[in-house]
Amino acid sequence: MAEWRSFFPEGLGIPCAASIADDTTIYVSGVGGHAMDGSISEDTADQTRQSLAIIADLLAREGSSLDEVVWMQPYVVDIADAEAVAAVISETFGDAPPASGAMVGNVALAEPRMKMELQVTARRGAKRVRVQ
């Protein structure tokens, strides 16, 4: 049976792990765009960049990176912000992005300052390659 490592830092404030991983797969829980000091930008694109930076740090804890992300689920509070989130995702992942669920809009997130949230799954050793 595989051992799953559950990263649950003190003071996380939610009843689930920030990430959980075994030897092949890493799941990262929903991540908003908070800075380390708890502040959060009012700009959706900035929140998305910060969210991806936090996700990159969580993956790095497990010896992985954004390069190994194979699945993403984006959420936006206001569907009008979907374009800003999509632009940052494109800027981050280039021409071989991970698979994704539909951009889910008009959701209520737990923190009222959050305009977006991302969840990802990474596969160790994965290399996304664009095919036609």
Per-residue pLDDT tens for 74-95? 999 999 999 999 999 999 999 9
Which residues are 21's β-sheet partners? Answer: 5, 26
Answer whether residue 126 shows pLDDT above 90.
Answer: yes
Task: For 91-118, write each residue's pLDDT tens digit.
Answer: 999 999 999 999 999 999 989 999 999 9
Token pair for 68: 């190994």
pLDDT at 1: 74
> What mean pLDDT comes out for the span 35-63?
95
pLDDT at 125: 97
Nearest to 5 by CA among 14, 31, 15, 18: 18
pLDDT at 110: 85
Q: Are 27 and 121 in contact (CB under 8 A)?
A: yes
pLDDT at 101: 94
Token pair for 94: 């280039």
Specify the CATH number for 23-123; select among 3.30.1330.40, 3.20.20.80, 2.40.40.20, 3.90.800.10: 3.30.1330.40
Q: Are 98 and 70 in contact (CB under 8 A)?
A: yes
pLDDT at 12: 67
